[in-house]
Amino acid sequence: MRKLFFLLSLLVVSPAHAYADFEVWLAGFRQEAEAQGISEATLDAALTGITPVERVVELDRRQPEFLQTFADYLGLRVTASRVARGQTLMAEHAALLDAVEQQYGVPKAVLVSFWGLETNYGSTLGNHNIPASLATLAYDGRRSAFFRGQLLDALRIIDAGHVSAIDMKGSWAGAMGHMQFMPSTFRAYAVDGDGDARIDLWQSIPDALHSGANYLKRAGWRTGEPVTIEVRPPQDFDWRRASIANRLPVAQWAALGVKPVDGSPLPTVAGRSAIVLPQGWQGPAFMVFDNFDVVMRWNRSVNYALAVAQLAQQVAGGDGLAVQAGEAGALGTAQLQALQRALNELGFNAGAADGLLGPRTQTAIRQYQAMHQLPVDGYPAPSVLAHVEQTHAAAAAAGTLILAPEPTFADPAADSGE
């Protein structure tokens, strides 16, 4: 209990100390920026008077209480209104989008889809001051080296005259403009699309669309090839084959009985493809291609990449999903932690019980499913949790669990009082 009061007292007095320490950190950072050639005028405009932004720290540390099913994720992002608005803007900017598509080889519907998902076509650009947000994240300690580099790049963008410090606004994590480029992405890929000798991703639609297409092209976009198509595996399909890492020639998938849901032939592509099950074996199945990997370089979320493809398909006049959802319900973070602990104690290496669904946890789920003759899709469905809990209880009663290591003092859970 004494320790708890001590920790609470630290929380009470720490902000003043944090601000003082931040001033020291900022002075050192400013010296580094000056040494790298950033002008004094830019440093004054961007850094004078800034303090740590508590809301940014809060957002950076926030953990979701529940995992989101693919159906829920898609339903919030690929809406009828967003599709309709995308079609309107595609017609409104037809000449610009045609020119961009011809120059970079990226379909106009795909580019409009990114625009819609990133900022709802420019209606939600973010209102956080980018230098203050990045300074907060660089100082805070979690991923500090990454955000320190982003802050330096943000200052270089201001120094180059593309935007003023006061107008450089965006998301709490530093993403900016219609396409939500991080500063390093801006400097590497943003281009002047309207010919005014500056790059304005906030106000210039040509700059934003040219920059997005330039990023995708340089990331390896294959002109004329799809991102994904919805497919229907045969009834006797071996679900262990459905993994983003299991790449096969399209002809081999066809020989296994995999077909597009609309009855059309599978596309002819140069590379290999994989089958992805974002909501388990009972949900929709997608064949993903090299352009899917390009989209994943933009955002490392499988659900995001699938949403890009779905929104683009519907903006271009195509249909929505044939298979709408898999097993109902999603695990909470605490439930996923319980699943990870149970799998570890049953001898399946799920990694740290952190409530995050990473490759190691998915592999452990697949190994468990294979041993118990369940469909091997690696998806943490509620039914999988229930099965694991039942097996865990039986193993505990039989005394065959692998005991987890005793917590150490450094473990935050060690002094929880539970």
State residue 18's pLDDT score. 55
Q: How confident is the model at residue 12 (pLDDT cuts 50, 70, 90)?
A: very low
Q: What is the C-alpha separation between 109 and 101, in angstroms, rounded?
A: 10
pLDDT tens by residue, 256-288: 999 999 999 999 999 999 999 999 999 999 999
Bridge partners, 287 (sequence order): 229, 275
- Between 16 and 157, where is the model more confident? 157
Residue 10 has pLDDT above 60, yes or no: no
DSSP 332-357: BHHHHHHHHHHHHHTT----S--S--
Encode pLDDT of 339-395 as tens digits. Answer: 999 999 999 999 999 999 999 999 999 999 999 999 999 999 999 999 999 999 999
For residue 362, give the nearest of 377, 352, 383 by alpha carbon: 377
Could you give the CA distance from residue 155 to residue 45 in angstroms, rounded to a whole number?
10
Range with lowest mean pLDDT among 46-55, 154-163, 217-226, 319-328: 319-328
pLDDT at 90: 98
Q: What is the sign of the dihedral through the CA atoms of 388, 389, 394 and 398? A: positive
CATH fold for the domain made of 228-315: Lysozyme (1.10.530)
Q: Is the pLDDT of residue 396 over 70?
A: yes
Check whether 236 has a pLDDT greater than 80: yes
- The pLDDT value recorded for residue 88 is 98
Per-residue pLDDT, 325: 80
User: Is a pLDDT exceeding 70 seen at residue 241?
Assistant: yes
Q: How many CA atoms lie within 13 A of 208 on its CB side?
A: 22
* 333-398: CATH topology: Muramoyl-pentapeptide Carboxypeptidase; domain 1 (1.10.101)
Domain range annotation of the chain: 2-63+126-176, 228-315, 333-398
Note the residue count of the chain: 418
Nearest C-alpha neighbor of 37 from the set 158, 184, 150, 144? 158
For residues 185-196, give the mean pLDDT.
98
- The backbone region for 378, taken as left when phi is positive above 0, alpha when psi lies in -120 to 50, beta otherwise, is left
- DSSP code of residue 239: G
CA angle 335, 336, 340 (to 5 degrees): 120
Q: Does the pLDDT at position 322 exceed 50?
A: yes
**pLDDT tens digit sequence for 27-39:** 999 999 999 999 9
Give me the percent of the chain exceeding a pLDDT of 70. 92
Pick the residue with more confidence: 211 or 324? Answer: 211
Alpha-carbon gap, residue 270 to 268, rounded angstroms: 7
- Global pTM? 0.90
pLDDT for residue 1: 44
Q: Is the dihedral of CA 102, 105, 107, 110 positive or negative?
A: negative
pLDDT tier for residue 67 given thresholds of 50, 70 and 90: confident
Q: Work out the mean pLDDT of the chain and round it to a whole number.
A: 92
Cα(407)–Cα(416) distance, integer angstroms = 11
What kind of architecture, by CATH, is found in domain 2-63+126-176? Orthogonal Bundle (1.10)
How far apart CA 113 and CA 118 sit, in angstroms, is 8
**How many alpha carbons lie under 13 Å from residue 315 in its C-beta half-sphere?**
29
| Partners of 293 in beta bridges | none
Q: pLDDT per residue over 279-315, tens digit each?
A: 999 999 999 999 999 999 999 999 999 999 999 999 9
